[in-house]
Amino acid sequence: MSLIVQKFGGSSVSDAEGIKRVAKRVVDTHAAGNEVVVVVSAMGDSTDELLDLAGQITTGGNAREMDMLLSAGERISMALLAMAINERGGSAQSFTGSQAGMITDAIHGKARIIDVSPHRIKTAIEKGDVAIVAGFQGMSQESHDITTLGRGGSDTTAVALAAALGADVCEIYTDVDGIYTADPRVAPSAQKIDTISSEEMLEMAASGAKILHLRCVEYARRFGVPLHVRSSFSQHEGTWVLPSPDDKIKIQEENPWNSPSFPALRTTVPKPRSR
Ligand code: ADP
Ligand code: ASP
Ligand code: MG
């Protein structure tokens, strides 16, 4: 039995049909004998629409209230996806970021995950349920207010949970069938990459490739989480982003993350499982 974290981006859940398509894939993965944790983004362009709505009401924008507003997008998709899975005969429970134990610092709009305590997620999957977690959000350790992780942050939620749960793989489902040498929508001659090291992917993300949230790649490398970036619209094999076996050791020696700009991500419970 494998533990798989599946993250579905906004384009994969842009309408009811998309949510039902995702539900089928999740139920199939679970029925194949895997434990499944799903991280979901807000539907389609709904985060942009919420930002636009706020802009019609206020120009200043209160950072705390903005995070309350934006985190609502992922709550909608998580609940609808749980309903769609249950409708197909599966058994799913949805959780907000704070219910899932995503603890962050207090920087609204660009919070960093500083601890992950996914007790409730672990209990749900041990019971045989699919656990669905709202991406992109957490709760401040200091103020207990809701925070968001920055645009595209659901990727980072997925990898942080995968690390904390000791998942075998973190699958990132999107609207292209993998990582290309350049954005295939801008450069039609770009080539699909089958496998790339976390280190090379980190360089690509840092130099602006917008396919994965930069911090998600940093966590994947640091915690040795294999990523599989693939399309939710097909069954094709996507791109594997693989940490090298000694990445974790090297990183401990170099300790590049242990700086004020990258506080340690702690995963209190449960410890990664040995398989
Ligand atoms: P999601 O809503 O699933 O999170 P994103 O919009 O964040 O999707 O990421 C998917 C998009 O990333 C693709 O539609 C593609 O246009 C873009 N993209 C940018 N750079 C790359 C790249 N190097 N390889 C593949 N896709 C890329
Ligand atoms: N919904 C958020 C955004 O649009 C987070 C995400 O999609 O990952 O940026
Ligand atoms: Mg994204």
Task: Specify whether the CB–CB gap between 54 and 61 falls below 8 A.
Answer: yes
| Amino acid letter for position 52 | D
pLDDT computed for residue 252 by the predictor: 47
Ligand 1: which of 176, 191, 239 to mutate, judged by most atoms within 8 Å of the beta carbon?
A: 176
Q: Which ligand is nearest to the CA of 156?
A: 2
Domains of the chain plus CATH, in order, are 3-258 (3.40.1160.10)
pLDDT computed for residue 262 by the predictor: 44
Going from the Cα of 247 to the center of ligand 1, the distance in angstroms, rounded, reads 26
- Give the closest residue to 107 by CA, choosing from 199, 215, 9: 215
| Residue range 62-74: mean pLDDT, rounded | 97
Whether 257 shows a pLDDT value over 70: the answer reads no
pLDDT computed for residue 192 by the predictor: 97
Question: Which atom of ligand 2 is found nearest the CA of 42?
Answer: 1
Q: How many CA atoms lie within 13 A of 42 on its CB side?
A: 19
pLDDT computed for residue 151 by the predictor: 96
Least confident of 17-21, 30-34, 111-115, 247-251: 247-251
Q: For residue 206, name the pLDDT band (cuts at 50, 70, 90).
A: confident
The better pLDDT of the pair 275, 60 is held by: 60
| Mean pLDDT computed over every residue of the chain | 91
Task: Specify whether the CB–CB gap between 2 and 169 falls below 8 A.
Answer: yes
- Residue 198 tokens, joined: 């976390």
pLDDT computed for residue 260 by the predictor: 38
DSSP lists the bridge partners of residue 130 as: 92
Ligand 1: which of 46, 77, 174 to mutate, judged by most atoms within 8 Å of the beta carbon?
A: 174
pLDDT digits 0-9 by tens, 151-174: 999 999 999 999 999 999 999 999
Please return the burial class of 209, using the count of CB atoms within 10 Å of its CB with bins 0-12, 13-18 and 19+: middle
Whether 258 shows a pLDDT value over 60: the answer reads no
- Give the closest residue to 138 by CA, choosing from 67, 222, 73, 78: 67
Going from the Cα of 11 to the center of ligand 1, the distance in angstroms, rounded, reads 10
Task: Specify whether the CB–CB gap between 187 and 110 falls below 8 A.
Answer: no
Nearest CA to ligand 1 atom 17: 211
200 CB near ligand 1 (under 6 Å): no
| Residue range 145-156: mean pLDDT, rounded | 97
What DSSP designation does 187 have? -
182 CB near ligand 1 (under 6 Å): yes
Going from the Cα of 39 to the center of ligand 2, the distance in angstroms, rounded, reads 11
Going from the Cα of 167 to the center of ligand 2, the distance in angstroms, rounded, reads 22
- Residue 103 tokens, joined: 């603890």
**H or E segment and range at residue 218:** helix 214-223
DSSP lists the bridge partners of residue 228 as: 171, 240
Whether 248 shows a pLDDT value over 70: the answer reads no
| Amino acid letter for position 177 | D
Pocket of ligand 2 (CB under 6 A): 9-10, 41-42, 47, 73, 135-136, 151-154
Q: For residue 61, name the pLDDT band (cuts at 50, 70, 90).
A: confident
Q: Which ligand is nearest to the CA of 150?
A: 2
Percentage of the chain exceeding pLDDT 90: 85
Whether 263 shows a pLDDT value over 70: the answer reads no
- Residue 215 tokens, joined: 């911090």
Least confident of 37-46, 126-135, 148-157, 241-250: 241-250
